[in-house]
Amino acid sequence: MNGKPDPDELKELLQDDKTILTNTGAHEKHATASHSGDGTNRGLEFLYDVPLQISVELGRSKILLRDLLKMGEGYVIELDKLAGEPLDLYVNSRLIARGEAVMVGDKFGIRLTDVVSTADRIENLG
């Protein structure tokens, strides 16, 4: 076994995964376990507690080393995105969605406006 998950098996597991809306309005995941040939349950529950690194990219820029060394408070770096363009949401360095910046209390958040399809996300896993 090479350690890389089989994309077809992942697709099957994700299709078996059902989302239930509880009476509190929160989404609760319930995975239907599929059975492998050896009789063991193979659901997605064992993956739910895996930590993931999430980052939101506002834009990118290339600068010269001399400009990097000149940086100080008040220095402005021009980014490649225009104001109003969607932000990119990455999970473990993989593009997952795009969205717009929002305020959540006194913190920033992102409201997703375009999510990469499940099939494309599975295909880009490895």
Domains in the chain: boundaries: 1-48, 51-126
- Specify the pLDDT at position 2: 53
CB 121 within 8 Å of CB 10: no
* CATH class of residue range 51-126: mainly beta
Average pLDDT over residues 62-83: 94
Residue type, 77: I
- Specify the pLDDT at position 58: 92
- Specify the pLDDT at position 121: 81
Own/partner pairs, 111-114, CB within 8 angstroms, 24+ separation: 113/86, 114/86
- Find the Cα–Cα–Cα–Cα dihedral 23, 117, 92, 67, rounded to 10°: -120
pLDDT band at 118 (very low <50, low <70, confident <90, very high): confident
- Taking only the tens place, the pLDDT of each residue in 4-38 is 666 666 666 666 554 443 333 444 444 444 444 45
